[in-house]
Homo-oligomer: A and B are copies of this chain.
Amino acid sequence: MKTSTLFLLLCFSFFASTAQTKAPVKNYGIAIHGGAGTILKSDLSPELEKQYKAKLQEALDAGYAILEKNGTSLDAVEAAIKVMEDSRLFNAGSGSVFTSEGKNEMDAAIMDGKTLKAGAVAGVRTIKNPITAARCVMDKSPHVILSGSGADLFAKQCGCATADSSYFFTEKRWQQLLKAKEQEKLTPEKSDTLGSLSPQQNEFNDKKFGTVGAVALDRNGNLAAATSTGGMTNKKPGRIGDSPVIGAGTYANNKTCAVSCTGHGEFFIRHVVAFDISALMEYKNLTLAQATEEVVMHKLVKVKGEGGVIAIDSKGNISMPFNTPGMYRGFRKSDGKTAVLIYR
């Protein structure tokens, strides 16, 4: 073989291998929320505020650590959610609210923006980390959504950690149920309409929010979204909110963005909020900021649908609009930018 031919062959194999090994993207990052609602500085003691911020930071860091080590966005959002499910501060997993029957019924969903595969559980009662159960439905079943005792059973068979009702009992959530039941007696019409409430009605507002969520973009350019919740205090048994509804509370698509919602779930279902943000980007060429603003600050505000979203696009842009006084939230990006916030 001539030297020139050898040189050409070497050149070819070098370029071929470079082309095959897709360069990891520089921008990666994660955003999380711990629920939107009437969260006012005057209502939160400095100590409690510190606790919330520390736990949000811990969740962010758990997800970010995975992204940093070239892990997947799916693993990152699951890890972040688990930290919040294991904390009694949030209305998900161990800190879930009570139904009108005094039970805990939890919903969760996860979606892979690369494959559009998704998994969700609705109304599970015995699973410590509903987000892991949702991941099992996605990875190990032919289905997308499993509900009720069938979901509990399937998650258990998949090896998800279980707990009895005492694990999910918190005095704070129990008191919220009692308050909601009192409120219901005083103004029964309020509990029977789809109308929203004034921000002043804190007790009642309490009952709607506290969902946790995470969205991430990994170094390979793959998006993922995940959401977990105990639902609404005093909800009817079997009520399913927007969190486990793919397209409503949770959606991810590498073409556009990953979205996780929090708020008055019924409005988010009827307005297919998460997918609408993606559709506005794909079909109307809106930016992530424009699309989230349009849906959360215009469409939802118009119908008095209270809540917020966190979203990240395929370039690593993050947007976190909310139309309530506050939203527990945070983000951490590979460019070094990071923040943990609560109020406007």
Residues of A within 8 A of B (CB): 116-118, 122-123, 140-151, 153-154, 191-194, 235-241, 245-248, 251, 265-266, 269-272, 275-276, 279-280, 283-284, 303
CB pairs A–B below 8 angstroms (14 shown): A123-B148, A141-B236, A142-B266, A143-B266, A144-B265, A144-B266, A144-B270, A145-B245, A153-B237, A154-B236, A245-B247, A247-B248, A247-B275, A272-B275
- Give the copy number: 2
Q: Is the interface of A mostly helix, strand, loop or mixed?
A: mixed
Across-interface contacts of A153 in B (CB, < 8 A): 237-238
A208, chain B: closest CB distance, angstroms: 10
Across-interface contacts of A144 in B (CB, < 8 A): 240, 265-266, 269-270
Q: How far is the CA of A280 from the CA of B142 in the complex (A)?
A: 28
Assess whether B143 is in contact with A235, with CB atoms less than 8 Å apart: yes
Contact of A193 among B142, B147, B271, B276 (CB under 8 A): B142
Across-interface contacts of A271 in B (CB, < 8 A): 116
Q: How far is the CA of A43 from the CA of B25 in the complex (A)?
A: 53
Contact of A246 among B151, B245, B276, B279 (CB under 8 A): B245
User: Quick one: which of A148, A149, A248 has the most chain B CB within 10 A?
Assistant: A148
